[in-house]
Amino acid sequence: MKLFCVAFLMFTAFLGFLAFVAGVTGMAATQARTWGVLALAGLGTFAFSRVVVFLLADSLNCPLCHGAVMKERRCRKHHEAFRIWPLSYRASAVISLLITFGFRCMYCGTSYRLGRRRSQVQ
């Protein structure tokens, strides 16, 4: 559940950044105060989400290789790691996690599926 929360907060930070850019652009074009409020709200959302992600992402490690799942290191990535071309490995993992409830570790290439564990009926 913590992994899904971190992925959702990273997506929220991205939306906050987009709101900030839209607010700054609108404020520069029209000089309206409402665009400035949007820019500040977007910047606050971005900053809050990134701080919480920074605090929570330290404890999210791959069970197999113990690599930080939601923190991108400068080390070599696995050749089977999932990546959408213009995005980073971490951003691709966030999108994969939010859409399919699964991700592939960027360091060892192991595929993980999130969801409920089914209890066996005897």
For the chain, domain boundaries:
1-59, 63-121
Q: What's the pLDDT score for residue 122?
A: 47
pTM score of the predicted model: 0.75
Contact 46, 13 (CB under 8 A): yes
Tens digits of pLDDT across the chain (122 residues) = 788 888 899 999 999 999 999 999 999 999 888 999 999 999 999 999 999 988 888 778 887 887 777 777 777 777 777 777 888 888 888 888 888 888 888 888 888 787 665 544 44
Q: What's the pLDDT score for residue 119?
A: 47
Query: Which contacts of 114-118 are long-range, i.e. CB under 8 A and separated by 24 or more positions?
Result: 114/3, 114/4
Residues 6 or more apart whose Cβ sits within 8 Å of residue 20:
39, 42, 43, 46
Q: Could you tell me where the beta strands, DSSP code E, fall in 26-106?
A: 102-104
